[in-house]
A and B are shown apart, each in its own frame.
Chain A
Amino acid sequence: MSVSTAFAKAKADGRAALVGYLPAGYPDVQGGIDALLALVDAGCDVIEIGLPYSDPVMDGPIIQAAAQKALEGGVRTKDVLRTVEAVAATGTPTLIMTYWNPVEKYGVERFAADLANAGGAGLITPDVTPDFAQDWIAAADAHDLDKVFLVSPSSTDERIAMTTAASRGFVYATGIMGVTGTTQATAAGVAPLIERTKATTDLPVGVGVGVSTGAQAADLAAYADGVIVGSALVRALGEGLPALTALTEELAAGVRRA
């Protein structure tokens, strides 16, 4: 299933899609795969796998700590691709969220080819905007991959239009001005950005950064096509798989409650 089909299916059910994030390699490569499979089982519609990076400027303390643990455990880019392969095999669309340098170092074209071979759906790129992504856009188009770029409350209307025009799969709207896992996004806070984004595109719009509870998911699902949760899941995984499953089920119920 593609990312856009997953969003369309959720929409047909009259609800928002649930997008779950965990970094690869945390607590170790196999443990990370098991955790991601638990997200699939507990009701995530789309999976976002973080590629651990040494200098993650958009991440708050929880994801930073998990990524650092993964790197200290020796996770490699090829392990991330292996993780994608294991998760994508379930049929749930699977994206990688990555800072740019690991992709550039791997080789943009080679990364796109290997991601496509692993069954991956595409990339979410938090530190590359379409105006500096020519290589990635070309490689993604050649390999039929999704390009998920971010829009932010501070984006001008022109930049939102430029960004959505270059996106495929969905558009990632950041719920707050801040990094992951710190402040809480509110429906009132993100509604204007979702509206401005929707005015430029028919692509689904997912809201991420600042979403952690089922109640919030329900609240945001009334405005957005998808709700993206990261830090809260990473924190739950820190407590163990049962906690992770419980939170994912709460969030999945949340997006169905709107």
Chain B
Amino acid sequence: MTVSSFDADERGWFGGAEGFGGRFMPEALVAALDELTVAWQEAMADPTFVAEFEQILREYAGVPSPLYLADRLSEKVGARILLKREDLNHTGAHKIRNVLGQALLTKRMGKTRVIAETGAGQHGVASATAAAYFGLDCTVYMGSVDTKRQALNVARMNLLGAKVVAVDSGSATLKDAINEALRDWVASVDHTAYLFGTAAGPHPFPSMVREFCRGIGDEARAQVLEQYGALPDAIAACVGGGSNAIGLFTAFLDDESVDIYGFEAGGDGYDTGRHAATIYAGDRGVLHGARTFVLQDEDGQTIESHSISAGLDYPGVGPQHAHLADVKRATYEPVTDTEAMDAMALLARTEGIIPAIESAHALAGALRVAADRPGQTILVNLSGRGDKDMGTALEYFKLGETE
């Protein structure tokens, strides 16, 4: 396992105990988190585990994903736009890397059941897929608002053999699904692994999820050097909890010449207060086990986030991103619903690629950056494909008309 200068210490602190991360969790789960930390570190040091993980990614998930020069788009914007095609992975997003890693580890630890939370259903579908692949029992928690919005993904999970539990508590969205999954885990931890869906939560999840996703950046860095002979001037990814972004960034963190951008969901516009731009808002707090930036009121009650993209609609963010923002190694900016949807349509029409709305945020942000960087190379992580978003697109663009 190669390290960057921005890794956590052994207690999960990014930037020391005054920084971000750590483990703010019920004592009931500490033994399990310690066990997981040890098992994960032993697995990563075991060449058999690493080889098996790589083989599954290659033969089952379609990894490495290609690095693609978006020619027509590049011409249009006057900068070279390279797309890391995670949308071509099995199940349609980068998320398959994380769940295959965690599920393989679950097998190694001898646990028989996995639980997961999901917002839009992407991580739920990926978890159900990995559970089917490894023969594990799978329960997915999903806010009842989301089970209604994303009925098709509920059906996919069902077909894959997973049990989907609708969560009515709180705001009945992703954060409440995480709470409910944690409650399940407190009662089931002896035989159950929690497949956390993003690079957030208590130590070791932010680091472990990063390591399972870092192939995105490791591959992209090698691909760009091989295909173009030089590092990109800038890289960009969307940031919900932060797994695809940290997966891309990690390989480039110590490349000082590469500027790093994370794009958060700006929703209706940052100034309207209806957004999910957690890092941009910059308010420190503790949510779901880590000190990080949190959308919260004066009393520390979590505020609901807003975004057209369910995968970015989360009021917290992974602690390593909070740290990278704090030490200014990466820049985080909001991208509005409108900017993202425009980028989605643009990519569809210029390149014949329909991106996930999450990924469209990364692209929209990259295009904004490109305007100030004529002729430069910008590498964008296209974290997922847009099939799951066609319902939203249909409504937003008033599609489905015939002539």
Contacts and interface: CB of A to CB of B under 8 A. Distances in A.
**Are A and B bound to each other?**
yes
Interface of A: 53-61, 64-65, 68, 71, 76-77, 100-106, 126-129, 131-132, 134, 149-156, 159, 163, 174, 176-179, 182-183
Contact of B30 (A53, A129, A134): A129
- Looking at A68, A77, A101, A153, the one whose CB has the most chain B CB atoms below 10 A away is A101
Interface string B299-319: 111100000000000000000
B288 interface: yes
A127 B31 CA distance: 14
Contact of A55 (B25, B32, B170, B284): B170
B187 A177 contact: yes
- Sorted nearest first, the 7 A-B pairs with minimum C-beta distance are A105-B300, A178-B187, A152-B28, A102-B300, A101-B300, A54-B302, A154-B31
B23 interface: yes
A55 B31 contact: no
A150 B300 contact: no
B27 A155 contact: yes
Interface stretch (B98-106, B178-186, B211-219): B178-186
Contacts of A163: 27
A150 to B, nearest CB: 5
A174 B179 contact: no
Given A127-B24, A129-B25, A159-B27, A55 B186 contact: no
Interface in B1-58: 11, 17, 22-32
Contacts of A60: 183
Nearest to B31: A154
Interface of B: 11, 17, 22-32, 169-170, 175-176, 179, 182-183, 186-187, 189-190, 284-289, 291, 294, 296, 298-302
A82 B260 CA distance: 47
Given A101-B285, A101-B294, A179-B183, A58 B26 contact: yes
Contacts of B17: 134
B30 A155 contact: yes
Nearest to A80: B299
A121 to B, nearest CB: 21
A102 to B, nearest CB: 4
Contacts of A55: 170, 175-176, 179, 287-288, 302
20 contacts: A55-B287, A57-B26, A57-B186, A58-B28, A60-B183, A77-B299, A77-B300, A101-B302, A104-B285, A104-B300, A127-B25, A127-B26, A129-B27, A151-B27, A154-B32, A154-B190, A155-B30, A156-B31, A178-B183, A178-B186
A150 B302 CA distance: 24
Contact of A179 (B22, B23, B187, B300): B187
B301 A179 contact: no
A100 B289 CA distance: 10
B145 to A, nearest CB: 15
A64 B169 contact: yes
Given A54-B301, A101-B287, A101-B294, A150 B26 contact: yes
Question: Considering residues B17, B24, B285, which has the most beta carbons from chain A within 10 angstroms of its beta carbon?
Answer: B24
Contact of B28 (A104, A154, A156): A154
A126 B30 CA distance: 12
B24 A54 contact: no
Contacts of B186: 57-58, 177-179
Contacts of A104: 284-286, 291, 300
A105 B293 CA distance: 12
A129 B288 CA distance: 14
Contact of B300 (A106, A127, A151): A106
Contact of B179 (A57, A65, A102, A183): A57
Contacts, number: 118
B300 A152 contact: no
Nearest to A179: B183
A57 B182 contact: yes
A53 B296 CA distance: 11
Contacts of A129: 23, 25, 27, 30
Given A54-B170, A159-B31, A179-B187, A102 B24 contact: no
A129 B155 CA distance: 40
Contact of B27 (A53, A102, A103, A149): A149
Nearest to A172: B27
Given A104-B300, A154-B190, A179-B186, 17 more contacts: A55-B288, A55-B302, A58-B26, A58-B28, A64-B169, A100-B286, A101-B294, A102-B301, A105-B300, A126-B26, A131-B11, A149-B27, A152-B28, A152-B31, A159-B27, A177-B189, A177-B190
A151 B27 CA distance: 6
A76 B299 contact: yes
B24 A150 contact: no
Contact of A61 (B32, B169, B288, B289): B169
Given A55-B175, A127-B25, A174-B28, A102 B182 contact: no
Residue from A59, A131, A177 with most neighbouring chain B CB atoms (10 Å): A177
Contacts of B286: 100-101, 104
B31 A102 contact: no
Contacts of B23: 129, 132
Given A154-B31, A182-B187, A128 B24 contact: yes
Contact of A105 (B24, B183, B296): B296
A67 to B, nearest CB: 10
Contact of B298 (A105, A150, A182): A105
A105 B299 contact: yes
A154 B288 CA distance: 20
Nearest to A160: B27
Nearest to B176: A55
Contacts of B287: 55, 101
